[in-house]
Chain A
Amino acid sequence: ETGVTQTPRHLVMGMTNKKSLKCEQHLGHNAMYWYKQSAKKPLELMFVYSLEERVENNSVPSRFSPECPNSSHLFLHLHTLQPEDSALYLCASSQQTGDSPLHFGNGTRLTVT
C-alpha cells in the first residue's frame, strides 16, 4: 500500500474514445501531480495542483484535461488520443510543492490503438 492509489492499472483505448484516469491519496498531502513515463525519456511533468489549484501546466496537449475536485483526488481526462500517447501515467502527491518528497502511485499503463 503506497498511500497513493491509481485506477485502472491498465487501459487500452481507441483514438476516438474518452476515458479518465483516477488518483487518490490518503496521506493528507496538499499537492498532487501527473507525470508521463515513456521508455528512454525522462519523466515528463504534466500538471501540478497545489491546494486544488493548478499551478503548472507544461504545455500539455489539450486532449489531456486534469481535474482536482479536492486535495485527495486527481483525475486525468483523456479524449482523442494518439498512439504516441501510450505510456505509463504516474500520479504523485507531496506535503507541498517545492522540495517535499513525492509519493507515487503504481501508475496506469495506457495503450492507445
Chain B
Amino acid sequence: GDSVTQMEGPVTLSEEAFLTINCTYTATGYPSLFWYVQYPGEGLQLLLKATKADDKGSNKGFEATYRKETTSFHLEKGSVQVSDSAVYFCALSKGQAGTALIFGKGTTLSVSS
C-alpha cells in the first residue's frame, strides 16, 4: 500500500544551522506531496506542498522538491531559528475523492540558541 517514510528524530541543531529532513514515499500513480508542521500543544498546519514531479514547494524559508526518480520530498531550510522547533510531518495524497492524506511518523526538530 501507499506509505511515507521519514528520517528518525529527534534532530537537534543550533540556530542558523542548515536543516534537512528526509522523506521518501511509496505510491502508485502521481501523488501530491505535503509537509505539515505541528507546534507544541497545537494541531498540524500545512507548511508547503507540491503536486507534480520537479515542483518546488516553499514557505517561511522552507522548501522541498518533488523528485519522482528518487520518490523523495526532502525538507530543507538554510538557517533555522529557535521558533522552528516543532514536529514535521511528510504526507502524500492520491487526489482521489473519498481519500485522505497518508502521513509519516513525524520528525521532531529542536533548535537551540
* A joins B in a complex: yes
Given A40-B105, A42-B105, A43-B89, decide whether A98 and B99 contact each other with a Cβ distance below 8 A. yes
Interface centre among A4, A33, A45, A102 (most CB of B within 10 A): A102
Interface size of B by CB at 8 A reads 28
Chain B contact residues, majority secondary structure: loop
A42 touches B100 (CB 8 A): no
Question: B97–A56 contact, CB under 8 A?
Answer: no
Report yes or no: B41 in contact with A98, Cβ–Cβ below 8 A. no
Interface 9-residue window, one of A62-70, A73-81, A103-111:
A103-111
Q: How far is the CA of A56 from the CA of B94 in the complex (A)?
A: 14
Tell me, yes or no, whether B96 is within 8 Å of chain A by CB.
Answer: yes
| Alpha-carbon separation in the docked complex, A96 to B93 (Å) | 12
CA gap between A50 and B98 in the complex, in Å: 7
A21 close to chain B: CB less than 8 A: no
Residues of A with C-beta under 8 A to B99:
48, 56, 97-98
Q: Which residues of chain B from 61 to 110 have any CB-CB distance to chain A below 8 Å in the complex?
A: 89, 93-106
Residues in A whose Cβ lies below 8 Å from that of B112: none
Q: Given A4-B43, A56-B98, does the pair A98, B93 have CB atoms closer than 8 Å?
A: yes
Taking the nearest CB of chain B, how far is it from the CB of A64, in angstroms? 16
Q: B100: which of A2, A97, A103 is its contact (CB, 8 Å)?
A: A97
Interfacial chain B residues near A50, Cβ < 8 Å: 97-98
Kindly list chain B residues whose C-beta atoms are within 8 Å of the C-beta of A101. 34, 46, 49
A residues in contact with B105, CB < 8 Å:
40-42
CB distance from A4 to the nearest CB of B (A): 7
B95 touches A99 (CB 8 A): yes
Query: Contact check: which of B41, B44, B97, B104 meets A42 at CB < 8 Å?
Result: B104
**A106/B43 in contact, CB under 8 A:** yes
A82-106 contact mask (Cβ, 8 Å, vs B): 1 or 0: 0000000010100011110111111
A interface with B by C-beta (< 8 Å): 2, 4, 6, 33, 40-43, 45, 48, 50, 55-56, 90, 92, 96-99, 101-107
Chain B residues with CB under 8 Å of chain A are: 4, 31-32, 34, 36, 41-46, 49, 51, 89, 93-106
